[in-house]
């Protein structure tokens, strides 16, 4: 970093404001492409309080891409599924996913302690020589000069010294109260949801004797959620009643009436409160995610209620979507126009999941006595509805909308994720993708086609007879698919020659 200086200071290619999971993910992915990044955070180390507790198999796949799949496996606990119960804890319905592995090669639902995940991410970041993380700094202003440079002003929180750094691009990963969002004049659009909840984290070695999945208490009077996060960690969430605050529940004595159905018979001495906090669950979306060379990611761009466990996932998807595009532009391999696709792709996707979270939350917790009656009648039958169980437990998210980097009809594979399927040699798709473009084909390429693709840095993966990839192509009415570095299908179809013509225009290689 430098103090304010003359206009000929060479800017850092990317400055990332915020070193939470979203910011560190973006930095790691950019670092894997050799992009120089400076990450700025107001904390010197990992923020110690638990927040997010769930990620799906798609995000697990991103962690594997970053090289920490094995480390994460040691600190995560696959969730067994979802159980719906009424106010008296009678089971309304149960959707068991124990032992299931999703299309991305990992368990579909994974519980974890956020500080442990952040520690893994930061430790892993040290393997990226082009990335520098600076803590204990407060970013105070982000301003663009109109010449493709961004000035980031900051204060050293230890010395009080004012400093500045120039950047070509700035990524605002600085959370719900984002300064970067304010700096670009973006505002949050309220999508019509606001509930106050009490969040309780407990550490215990006691055996609570509970079913290992998520328990959702469907009660408009006192909706609640219980989940086991780790070997010793448990999370409860209780909707607060009017007039209640977290201060009313600062001890085990005041919490026990709420927690009693799960901890009956467990002495207070065996239950250690880690945190009791009040959160307002919101549904909000920034009206714009970009101003020229400044981008918003994660909670700076969107806030979702927690009912489908997609808050952290959405932010990691932002990093995955933007990082390869930004790397390609900085390396001169992709046109600058591809950066326009970031908001065009991610904003509708995030909005769709926010709406789904609102719907699920309302279905589980609202409706008064009539809602309770309807849930008692309908919930026990849901697990027998054809295909519904699979849909409720499926982690697949909506396809991206058609655009410059998503070519094809709505019925094609374009915009959907290529599965991390096992290949004939025992490896998986991601083992050979290496961060670049991949052409998956169920038919042989000509020598000329193979040569052109190799010259462009595009990997060819054969979808052999009887393979999962062959089945995926067949289900998508295709014989081949061109897959982007973020695992999204750019184009698919039965005309291999056309796909081979499209492919060499994308030269980003790992």
Q: What is the CATH number of the domain that holds 146?
A: 3.50.50.60
Q: What is the C-alpha separation between 143 and 146, in angstroms, rounded? A: 9
pLDDT at 146: 84
123 assigned to some structural domain: yes
303 assigned to some structural domain: yes
Beta-bridge mates of residue 441: 462, 480
154 assigned to some structural domain: yes
pLDDT at 272: 97
Q: Is 403 helix (H, G, I), strand (E, B) or coil?
A: strand
Q: What is the C-alpha separation between 126 and 27, in angstroms, rounded? A: 11
Residue 32 CA, distance from chain mean position: 19
Residues 450, 330 within the same domain: no
267 pLDDT more than 90: yes
- Averaged pLDDT, 305-326: 95
Residues 311, 422 within the same domain: no
Distances (CA, A) of 58 to 16, 316, 317, 418, 445: 23, 10, 9, 11, 30
Residues 118, 23 within the same domain: yes
Residues 125, 38 within the same domain: yes
Residues 185, 291 within the same domain: yes
Residues 411, 342 within the same domain: no
Residues 299, 408 within the same domain: no
What is the pTM for the complete model shown? 0.93
Give percent of the chain above pLDDT 70: 91
272 assigned to some structural domain: no
**What CATH number has the domain bearing residue 510?**
3.40.30.120
Q: Which run of H or E residues covers position 449?
A: helix 447-455
Residues 321, 406 within the same domain: no
Per DSSP, the chain holds a count of helices (H) and strands (E) of 14, 23
Residues 444, 327 within the same domain: no
Domain termination site, one of 319, 335, 350: 350
446 assigned to some structural domain: yes
Q: What is the C-alpha separation between 392 and 436, in angstroms, rounded? A: 32
What is the tally of structural domains in the chain?
2
387 pLDDT more than 80: no
211 assigned to some structural domain: no
> Residue 210, Cβ neighbours under 10 Å: how many?
15
Nearest Cα residue to 455 out of 505, 386, 395, 392? 505
Residues 47, 143 within the same domain: yes
133 assigned to some structural domain: yes
Q: Average pLDDT of the chain?
A: 90
Domain termination site, one of 324, 350, 376: 350
Band of pLDDT at residue 308, cut at 50, 70 and 90: confident
Distances (CA, A) of 377 to 86, 237, 372, 490: 11, 25, 9, 44
Band of pLDDT at residue 393, cut at 50, 70 and 90: low
What is the domain extent for residue 143? 12-51+59-73+114-189+285-350
Residues 333, 413 within the same domain: no
Which residue matches tokens 């959405």?
314
Q: Which of 139-143, 315-319, 409-413 has the lowest mean pLDDT?
A: 409-413
224 assigned to some structural domain: no
DSSP string, 426-439: S-BHHHHHTTS-EE
Domain termination site, one of 314, 335, 350: 350
Beta-bridge mates of residue 151: 143, 166
């Amino acid at each position: 970093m430098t103090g304010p200086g003359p206009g000929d200071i060479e800017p850092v290619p990317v400055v990332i404001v915020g070193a939470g999971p979203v910011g560190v993910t973006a930095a790691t992915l950019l670092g894997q492409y050799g992009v120089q990044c400076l990450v700025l955070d107001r904390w010197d180390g990992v923020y110690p309080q638990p927040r997010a507790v769930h990620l799906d198999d798609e995000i697990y796949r991103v962690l594997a891409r970053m090289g920490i799949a094995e480390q994460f496996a040691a600190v995560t606990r696959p969730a067994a599924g979802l159980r719906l119960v009424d106010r008296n804890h009678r089971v309304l319905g149960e959707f068991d996913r124990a032992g299931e592995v999703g299309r991305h090669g990992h368990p579909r639902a994974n519980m974890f302690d956020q500080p442990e995940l952040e520690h893994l991410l930061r430790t892993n970041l040290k393997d990226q020589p082009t990335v520098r993380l600076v803590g204990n700094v407060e970013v105070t202003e982000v301003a663009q000069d109109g010449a493709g440079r961004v000035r980031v002003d900051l204060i050293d929180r230890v010395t009080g010294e004012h400093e500045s750094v120039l950047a070509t691009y700035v990524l605002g990963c600085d959370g719900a109260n984002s300064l970067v969002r304010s700096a670009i004049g973006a505002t949050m659009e309220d999508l019509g949801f606001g509930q106050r909840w009490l969040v309780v984290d407990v550490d215990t070695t006691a055996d609570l004797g509970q079913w290992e999945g998520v328990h959702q208490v469907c009660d408009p009077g006192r909706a609640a959620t219980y989940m086991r996060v780790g070997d010793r960690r448990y999370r409860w969430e209780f909707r607060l009643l009017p007039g209640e605050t977290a201060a009313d529940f600062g001890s085990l004595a005041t919490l026990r009436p709420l927690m009693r159905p799960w901890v009956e018979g467990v002495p207070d001495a065996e239950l250690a409160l880690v945190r009791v906090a009040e959160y307002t669950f919101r549904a909000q979306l920034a009206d714009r995610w970009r101003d020229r060379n400044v981008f918003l990611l994660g909670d700076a761009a969107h806030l979702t209620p927690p009912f489908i466990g997609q808050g952290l996932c959405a932010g990691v998807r932002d990093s995955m979507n933007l990082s390869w595009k930004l790397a390609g532009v900085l390396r001169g391999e992709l046109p600058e126009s591809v950066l326009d696709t970031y908001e065009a792709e991610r904003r509708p996707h995030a909005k769709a999941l926010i709406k789904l979270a609102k719907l699920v939350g309302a279905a589980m917790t609202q409706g008064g006595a009539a809602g309770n009656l309807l849930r008692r009648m309908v919930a026990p039958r849901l697990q027998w509805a054809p295909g519904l169980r699979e849909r409720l437990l499926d982690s697949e998210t909506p396809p991206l909308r058609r655009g410059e980097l998503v070519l094809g009809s709505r019925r094609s594979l374009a915009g959907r994720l290529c599965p991390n399927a096992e290949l004939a040699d025992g490896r998986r798709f991601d083992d050979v993708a290496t961060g670049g473009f991949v052409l998956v084909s169920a038919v042989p390429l000509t020598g000329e086609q193979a040569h052109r693709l190799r010259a462009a840095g595009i990997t060819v993966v054969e979808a052999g007879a009887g393979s999962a990839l062959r089945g995926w192509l067949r289900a998508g009415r295709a014989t081949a698919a061109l897959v982007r570095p973020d695992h999204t299908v750019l184009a698919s179809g039965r005309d291999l020659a056309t796909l081979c013509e499209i492919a060499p225009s994308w030269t980003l290689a790992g």
